[in-house]
């Protein structure tokens, strides 16, 4: 089975936005990205489909701080990265 990961999240730290690149390998599964704050509170989520995808998320509604971006495929967490928002 191919790795299912967020291949990159940049810029990090982010100011106005950050870009998330996702590679689902050859599976082409659907999944969901979730962004949580340092306390675990859900801030935002976004479904995606297909083998590769790229999303640009604005930070306009986020305060400066540490966030956790997780990738869930078929109900199982596949990857998690820390994102710092610095305004």
Q: For residue range 33-78, what is the model confidence (pLDDT) as tens digits? A: 999 999 999 999 998 776 667 889 999 999 999 999 998 887 888 8
Indicate the Cα dihedral angle 45, 84, 59, 7, nearest 10°.
-60
Q: Residues 26, 22, 71, 46: is their CA dihedral positive or negative?
A: negative
Is 30 strand, coil or helix?
Answer: coil
Looking at residue 8, its pLDDT comes to: 86
Looking at residue 26, its pLDDT comes to: 64
Other Cβ atoms less than 10 A from the Cβ of 41: the count is: 8
Q: Which sequence spans correspond to the domains of the chain? A: 5-85
Which two structure tokens, joined as six digits, stand for 56?
Answer: 């640009």
Distance CA 59, CA 18 (A): 8
Q: What is the CATH number of domain 5-85?
A: 2.60.40.10
What global pTM score does this model have?
0.84
Looking at residue 38, its pLDDT comes to: 93
């Amino acid at each position: 089975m191919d790795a299912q990961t967020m291949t990159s999240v940049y810029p990090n730290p982010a100011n106005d936005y950050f870009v998330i690149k996702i590679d689902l390998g050859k599976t082409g599964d659907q999944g969901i990205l979730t962004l949580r704050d340092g306390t675990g509170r859900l801030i935002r989520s976004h479904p995606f489909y297909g083998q590769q995808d790229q999303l640009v998320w604005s930070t306009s509604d986020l305060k400066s701080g540490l966030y956790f971006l997780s990738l869930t495929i078929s109900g199982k967490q596949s990857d998690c990265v820390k994102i710092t928002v610095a305004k």
